[in-house]
Amino acid sequence: MAATEPDVTNRTMRRIAIASGTGTVIEYYDFFIFATAAALVFPKVFFPALGSAAGVVASFATLGVAFVARPVGSVLFGHFGDRLGRKRTLVTTLLIMGLATALVGLMPTAEQIGVIAPILIVILRFLQGLAVGGEWTGATLMAAENAPKAKRGFWSMFGALGGSIGFVLASVTFLIIGETMSDETFHSYGWRIPFIASLLLIAIGLFVRLKIDETPVFKGEVSQRGTARAPFVEALKSQPREIAFASGVLVMTFAFYYLAVGYLINYGTAVLKLPRTTVLLIGIAAGLMFGLAIVLGAAYSDRVGRKKVILAGNAVAVVWALALFPILDSASAVTFAIGSCVTTLIAGFAYGPVGAFMPELFQTRYRYTATGFSYNVAGVLGGAVPPLVAAAITAAYGGFAFGIFLAVLCLISLGCTLALRETRNAEMSEPVKAPVQ
């Protein structure tokens, strides 16, 4: 049976895009305030006994826990997203993220309850990772499965754009709080305010998401063929090659982005000795550049194809990885701003088409699971590992050595993208091949 275009108006697509983007703004706001706090506060609040350097490593290790949890969350929520629907799953991920984030803001310090404090922080971070593991995929599919083919790249990028806005919002919140109170007050309780305040944003997100409908592509799949009994197993049997290579496409994007919004915040204040306010302002600028680049990359992919845009971003990233730390080590605010903003610009341009590219690779019956799993495996390789090893490599061998490590990750993304087909003309309601019986 021939595939049909989703019958949606621009007004409907705008409403879906708002719902998709609003939810990811909130989810990633929660996710990023943890990353910002891990760079600025957690080494002193939750890991004081480890000392300065080890405390930073332990603090960033808690970020890594979330990335390990994300593939687990993608399989868990992908299962329900492929069997029960995109909408129900998105509401669930939002609630889990909101509760975990608020509890971080209420957490006693290591001085108050000892080793239990960092253990609980790790558990809550794991829950955040589970929720985010299902969030981006569901939000992206809501747009991708509703959008007309000619503009699918553009409409599918709002989930990714929400992540950029969420980071900027998190940074602005920390900047305002940090500038309106002393360092002592900030480290005492000020850092908790963004976490607790997220409860208001969660309420807004739920209100928006409860008003959208299930995607017509999913409803059509259910009515015509039913749902997959075990989406993850079926995906691995049907499209193992696509899952393997798709898992490498975003390694560079994750590595560059989380380097810029996580590790470089600490690097700028602790190593380069730049003022915290300056570093946070530059981080906000980098987040805005990331969002702009997402829009450009997504829109351009509707004209020339997803693969060409992603390949261009990864190719430039190989060169930039080697140049980044020599530029940063001049230790001026200007070069730090250039390093941070160019890094997120490259990452965002390659990231823009992914909201359409990855869903277009997979069949509807296991699309939520396969897309989410591939996306979040890339998160482990690119988002968790580089910030965790960055401090050790730069301390032992210098920034250029870490740049070589980054360049290798960029080459992995480049090779994986080359191995996949162009998807710009794919039909979302038409299976790539017959399903496994």
> Which residue stretches of 157-275 are H helix?
158-179, 183-188, 193-209, 216-225, 231-238, 240-249, 251-258, 264-266
pLDDT in tens, the chain (437 residues): 444 555 567 778 888 888 878 777 876 777 677 777 777 777 777 777 676 666 766 776 777 788 788 889 999 999 999 998 888 888 888 888 888 888 988 888 878 888 788 788 888 889 988 988 888 888 899 889 988 889 999 999 988 888 788 888 888 887 888 778 887 787 788 888 888 888 887 888 788 778 788 888 888 877 777 777 899 999 999 999 999 999 999 999 999 988 887 778 777 887 788 888 888 889 889 989 999 999 999 999 999 999 999 999 999 999 999 999 899 888 788 999 999 999 999 999 999 999 999 999 999 899 999 999 999 899 888 887 887 787 778 878 888 898 999 999 999 999 999 999 999 988 887 544 444 44
Question: At residue 166, what is the residue type?
Answer: G
Please tell me the chain's helix, strand, coil percentages from 3-state DSSP, rounded to the nearest 5: 85, 0, 15
Q: What is the DSSP letter of 263?
A: I
**Calculated CA dihedral for residues 403, 407, 410, 411, nearest 10 degrees:** -170
Indicate the burial class of 147 (C-beta count within 10 angstroms; 0-12, 13-18, 19 or more): buried
> What is the rounded CA–CA span in Å between residue 124 and residue 66?
9
CB count in 10 Å sphere of residue 18: 15
Instruction: Give the CB-side neighbour count of residue 107, counting CA atoms within 13 A.
Output: 28
**Residue from 158, 242, 304, 246 nearest 431 by CA:** 242
Residue 94: the pLDDT is: 84
| Gyration radius from the chain CA atoms | 21
Q: What is the distance of C-alpha 370 from the center of its chain?
A: 16
Q: How many CB atoms lie within 10 A of CB 10?
A: 10
Handedness of CA 179, 182, 186, 187 (dihedral sign): positive
CA separation for the pair 285, 281 (Å, rounded): 6
Confidence (pTM): 0.84
362 and 144 Cβ atoms separated by less than 8 Å:
no
* Six-digit token string for 152: 């699918």
Tell me how far apart the 2 most distant CA atoms of the chain are, in Å: 66
Sign of the dihedral defined by the CA atoms of residues 33, 38, 44, 48, in that order? positive
- The answer to whether 88 and 134 have CB atoms below 8 angstroms apart is no
| CA–CA dist 32, 426 (Å, integer) | 33
- Which DSSP state fits 230? S
CB atoms within 10 A of CB 434: 8
pLDDT recorded at residue 198: 80
Amino acid at 91: V
